[in-house]
Amino acid sequence: MYAQGYFPLGLEGGIGWFDQRAYGTPFRAVMPLDERFHIPRSLRRVLNAGRFEVRINTDFMGVLEGCATRGWSYRSETWLTPEVAQLYLSLYWYGFAHSFETWQGNSLAGGILGVALGAAFIGDSMFYRVPDASKVALVRLVEHLRARGFELFDVQVQNPHLARFGAVEVDPLEFQQKLLQAVAKPVRFVD
């Protein structure tokens, strides 16, 4: 379903697959992987200070739990129900779902949960326990996607936080075309 532009939302008794229209918008939000990506000035100081170490898939369960309890949600209840968490675990075991993490010492500080399909990365949720940790994860994730040759970073629905970094809304037909093109390209998120 991800390859067709749908993402899961936990419903009572199961999982529903939706697109951006579930949030009342006809447009899909994407994070640019080119010069349009913007790092806020205040965050540059945090990045330069080196307070966080970046890891991939070190604590997938910790990021999954963080997103379920502290993650960004467009609804008052979490979309990441036990059924959706089980779906993510299955996708992780098959090598599609990933956690992009920021650490402070031996503690998970924040992270992003997403699915990689070809050269498309679908970012589903992010969380932080330490201020700026998820923002640093977002910047380092964009750098990682660029270095790996990814073409599309789907962030699903626009919000003010993502807009600060340059996220833009695209027409659904344009999104579908970019998604199909990116999914067909053989790229690996990790070795």
Q: What are phi and psi of 40, to 5 degrees?
A: -55, 145
Q: What pLDDT shows up at residue 93?
A: 97
Mean pLDDT of 36-42: 94
Residue 71 pLDDT exceeds 70: no
Mean pLDDT of 136-157: 97
Residue 77 pLDDT exceeds 70: no
Helices (H), the chain: 41-49, 60-70, 82-93, 133-148, 160-164, 172-183
Q: What pLDDT shows up at residue 70?
A: 64
Q: How sure is the predictor about 164, in pLDDT bands with cuts at 50, 70 and 90?
A: very high
Instruction: Look up residue 21 and give its DSSP letter.
Output: G
Instruction: Look up residue 3 and give its DSSP letter.
Output: G
Angle between helical axes of 133-148 and 41-49 (0-180°, round to 10): 80
| Domain ranges for the chain | 26-183
Q: What are phi and psi of 95, to 5 degrees?
A: 90, 15
Residue 75 pLDDT exceeds 60: no
Q: What pLDDT shows up at residue 24?
A: 79
Q: What pLDDT shows up at residue 23?
A: 78
How far is Cα 40 from Cα 46, in angstroms, rounded to an integer? Answer: 10
Q: What pLDDT shows up at residue 89?
A: 96
Give per-residue pLDDT as tens, 8-30.
888 877 888 888 887 778 899 99
Is 26-183 in CATH node 3.90.1150.10? no
Average pLDDT, the chain: 91
Q: What pLDDT shows up at residue 73?
A: 43
